[in-house]
Amino acid sequence: MENQEGEKETEIAKVLVSWRAQEFAHYERDKNWYALWLITSLTGIILAIIFKNFLFAIFIFFAALAIFVHALQEPRVISFKITARGIVISDRLYPFEELESFWIIYEPPHIKELIIKSKRILMPQINIPIGDENPVKIRQALLEFLTEKEQKHSLIDSISRWLRL
């Protein structure tokens, strides 16, 4: 019995591929970007007030504030691992049983990303930056456990990239 538990622990700890990357793309923004964002936000708030939609005005204010705070943040460098049990992001394990498929979008230097389709309703897609890791190694490791199925960026991801958020 001890032997089986020891083998199971080895399987859990077996790292097939590991890398480190920034948690999100960081864009350099000049004063014009911040000015445009402020003008757009204020215009939205003023229009919402004119149309007497005060709840929407409050929503726009907090959304603009959240985006502004996010724009000022520097991304953390996070560790990613593909193990025999699942994908580990920082210290959180996403077991393969909870994942459906994967797709790698590799268009350097702008897009280097692993997209995982999850079975979870609240988190149907997990986007993982590849950084400088070899995408072929990641693909080979994942093919043992998941189906490779083409996936596209969500509309929100595309808009965020276009707006440099």
Question: Which segment of 5-9, 66-70, 87-91, 144-148 scores lowest on mean pLDDT?
Answer: 5-9
65 lies in which domain range? 31-72
pLDDT tens-digit map of 75-132: 899 999 999 999 999 989 999 999 999 999 998 877 899 999 999 888 888 999 999 8
Would 1 be classed as within a structural domain? no
First to last CA, the chain: 52
pLDDT value at position 72? Answer: 86
142 and 96 together in one domain: yes
pLDDT over 90 percentage in the chain? 59
Would 3 be classed as within a structural domain? no
58 and 137 together in one domain: no
83 and 159 together in one domain: yes
9 has pLDDT over 50: no
Would 50 be classed as within a structural domain? yes
> Across residues 58-68, what is the average pLDDT?
94
Instruction: Give the Å distances, CA to CA, from 105 to 1, 12, 77, 96.
Output: 43, 27, 20, 20
How far is residue 45's CA from residue 50's CA, in Å, rounded to a whole number? 9
149 and 116 together in one domain: yes
**Burial code of 128-139, b = ≥16 C-beta within 10 A, e = fewer?**
bbbeebeeeebb
65 and 102 together in one domain: no
pLDDT value at position 38? Answer: 94
Q: What is the CATH number of the domain that holds 93?
A: 2.30.29.30
Would 104 be classed as within a structural domain? yes
89 and 134 together in one domain: yes
Would 2 be classed as within a structural domain? no
pLDDT value at position 156? Answer: 74
How many domains are there within the chain?
2
What are the structure tokens assigned to 138, written together? 């990641």
Q: Assess contact for 113 and 127: CB atoms under 8 A.
A: yes
Would 5 be classed as within a structural domain? no
pLDDT value at position 83? Answer: 94
Would 64 be classed as within a structural domain? yes
Would 96 be classed as within a structural domain? yes
53 and 110 together in one domain: no
Is the whole-model pTM more than 0.85? no
pLDDT value at position 13? Answer: 62
83 and 68 together in one domain: no
pLDDT value at position 139? Answer: 96
